[in-house]
Copies of this chain bind each other. A is one copy, B any other.
Amino acid sequence: MPGFGSPRIHEHKEETMRSTDLLSALHNLPTRSMLAAAVIAAAMLLGAAATNAQGLPPLAKELNPAQTALILVDFQYPFTSPDGANHRNVKKEMDEKHLLEATLDLVRKARSLGVLVVHITEGYSNDYRELDPTNPGGFHRGQILRQAWKIGTKEQSYYEPLLPAQGDKDLFPPPRIQTTAFGGTGLNEILRSRGIKNVAVGGFTTDVCVYATVANAYDLGYHVYALRDAMAGYFTEQAEQMLKNTYPMWSKVIGNEEWLAMLGPARTTQR
């Protein structure tokens, strides 16, 4: 890297001035309609060094538990209970995957490795005053029509075996109204202040809130691990398509055991 004051710099400064002149010329074109193209906005300085495509750094094979969080989305009565209103759609996949048992095992191991476990839930006030009943999107409107997911009701209750025991250091933010786990929960800021780099995501459902969380986490800059053993789809066919096509854009789709193995065999960590 050349220091300030090197000949190269002077050469650079000259060019900077030249480009400034050009842009200034552009700016002063009589009609000012120039720059009308998208072109203009170069978000970052154009770097000099050519990136060697073959030279991409390798992906992580190990994860530091102290920098890793496990986010569980909507393990609540409507999905987890046979009597739940949404259970019918997820039952077959849950049974095949032994999803609840597998998730309990996953969470137990994650806790013991020092991974931060985060429970994200959905819930609304009794009169849904925080929602907009005139929104043409059907998600919240449906909840209102069904008078569903009210905070404090059995229907909104958490799957009890997953509840943190005394001494567990899990996070349990208030119920959210947005689809992504990060929406309105302050989770992103808490995870940063905890030094979390990697997030693994499971829960309900593969094609709705889990997908929103995974895509959002990627946009936020996390390394995301989509735990396919710990999630079930609402629209099965769509969920399968997503896991095959677009989940890999935002995450590594991975089995519970393979993910746990990345955290190290018997590592325990102090943050």
Contacts and interface: CB of A to CB of B under 8 A. Distances in A.
A85 interface: no
Given A134-B59, A189-B178, A45 B165 contact: no
A137 B57 CA distance: 13
A163 B37 contact: yes
A266 interface: no
Overall SS of chain A's interface? loop
B24 A194 contact: no
By size class, the interface of chain A is 35 or more
Given A32-B48, A208-B249, A133 B57 contact: yes
Contacts of A138: 248-249
A173 B185 CA distance: 11
Given A31-B48, A34-B19, A238-B241, A43 B173 contact: yes
A151 B220 CA distance: 21
A161 to B, nearest CB: 8
A71 to B, nearest CB: 15
> Which 8 residue pairs of A and B lie closest in terms of their CB atoms, listed nearest first?
A184-B186, A47-B127, A38-B158, A41-B174, A44-B125, A193-B221, A192-B221, A238-B241
Interface of A: 1-4, 6, 8-9, 11-13, 15-16, 18-20, 22-27, 29, 31-51, 53, 56-60, 76, 104, 108, 111-112, 119, 121, 123-139, 141-142, 144-147, 151-154, 157-158, 160-161, 163-180, 183-187, 189-195, 197, 207-208, 212, 215-216, 218-225, 234-235, 237-238, 241-242, 245-246, 248-252
